[in-house]
Amino acid sequence: MTVKAYAAQAADQPLGPHAIERRAAGPDDVVIAIEYCGVCHSDLHTVRGEWGGTLFPCVPGHEIVGTVSAVGSAVTRFAPGDTVGVGCIVDSCRTCAACGEGLEQFCASGMTGTYNSRTPDAPGHTLGGYSEQIVVDQAYVLAIRHPKDQLAAVAPLLCAGITTWSPLRHWGAGPGKRVGVVGIGGLGHMGIKLARALGAEVTGFTTSPAKREAILALGAHHVVVSTDKAEMKAARESFGLIINTVSHSHDLDPFLMALARDGTMVMVGGPEKPHPMPTLFHMLTRRRSLAGSLIGGIAETQEMLDFCAEHGVVSDIELIRMEEIEAAYARMLQGDVRYRFVIDTGTI
């Protein structure tokens, strides 16, 4: 079927209207009428070719919420009318050790991303959620249990939520743990909300002093302005876990020094240029670790969505019309979004 979408035709071209083909539903497929799609900084890195390897035309978007409009003959988990989500993964090999453990993001054959991954479907690569409809195998579709009036604010959970939830869980965020979150944008603001909901003592690190009160309102117990040397000095040797979501290359040393003995800083940002090499002595002298994390698996995403529904956690969003996307990207690049743009895909 032909579906309206927004695509970039090249890395130096703005997004614009573009018709795409979605495959006919196979036995295991769920056809989803998309209602909302969050705008992740990864969308921007990809359409602008900042990571290399972008396949054009590129339809980004991997924070998708919508309603099931049809299901294939073998679909048992969903029915027309159900509210569902799709995150960053639409397929994987299902047989490797990682897939067997529910870690599809680390599939040995490479996961199929919701956009910019090779697929047999036209045009040869996957096309994401800046579109009216998507067709996804039921094994990669998530159930959404939040109230209907919160759905726009649920969309960012599908990437920003799971990308912070997964390391918070893996590294044991909870009561008695001091957790820092660096960069309070889409991912960072979810990191604060989720760490707080898990019972940790939470500090937001920001380069934007104007966000201080707002970060406390998100649930942080403390805010540190990371460009203020005195504040960073006072924060030294404090944290068991730091989640670093910054989208740009920056000096990691001040954040490593903020870790307590045996603390870990988990990098989730994907900057265009590598970070300067950190000073390894800061790691040696306190047995500190530097780690990385990539989104989260399907079962873990469902666990996060259910936790958020139960605890009333959603994203703080600015709802935009599709044609406002380039202005939204420009504002995102300036750190000027509180805290996630979400596209009303009815405006495509």
- Residue 277: phi and psi, rounded to 5, are -55, 125
Alpha-carbon span 171 to 156, nearest angstrom: 22
CB of 227 to ligand NAP, least distance (A): 8
* Beta carbon of residue 38, minimum distance to Zn ion (angstroms, whole number): 8
Q: Which is nearer to Zn ion, 206 or 247 (CB)?
A: 247
Query: Residue 92: which of Zn ion, ligand NAP, none does it interact with, CB under 5 to 8 A by kind?
Result: Zn ion
Asked if 93 touches Zn ion (CB under 5 A), the answer is yes
CB atoms near residue 6 (< 10 Å): 27
Residue span binding Zn ion (CB under 5 A) among the ranges 36-44, 149-157, 248-256, 283-291 = 36-44
Tell me the C-alpha distance between 8 and 59, whole Å.
Answer: 7
Residue 270's binding partner among Zn ion, ligand NAP, none (Cβ under 5 to 8 angstroms by kind) is ligand NAP
- Judge residue 229's burial from the number of C-beta atoms within 10 Å of its C-beta, 0-12 exposed, 13-18 middle, 19 or more buried: exposed
**Segment lying near Zn ion (by CB under 5 A), choices 79-87, 151-159, 225-233, 244-252:** 151-159
The binding track of 153-182 with respect to Zn ion, each residue x by CB under 5 A or -, is: ------x-----------------------
For ligand NAP, the binding residues (CB under 6 A) are 40-42, 45, 159-160, 163, 183-188, 206-208, 211, 245-248, 250, 268-271, 293-295, 332, 335
Q: The tokens of 231 are what?
A: 């504040």
Give the binding range for Zn ion (CB under 5 A) out of 104-112, 176-184, 267-275, 303-311.
104-112
Q: Is there binding between residue 92 and Zn ion (CB under 5 A)?
A: yes
- For helices 186-197 and 298-311, the axis angle rounded to 10 degrees is 70
Extract the runs of DSSP E, i.e. beta strands, from the chain. 2-7, 16-21, 29-38, 64-71, 83-86, 89-91, 112-113, 133-137, 142-143, 178-182, 201-206, 222-225, 239-244, 259-267, 289-292, 317-321, 340-344
For Zn ion, the closer of residues 40 and 144 by Cβ is 40
Nearer to ligand NAP, 144 or 187 (CB): 187
- Alpha carbon distance 6, 345 (integer Å): 10
Q: How far apart are the first and last CA of the chain?
A: 16
Are 271 and 247 a contacting pair, CB within 8 Å?
yes
Binding track over 40-79 against Zn ion, x by CB under 5 A = x-x-------------------------------------
What are the residues binding Zn ion (CB under 5 A)? Answer: 40, 42, 92-93, 96, 99, 107, 159
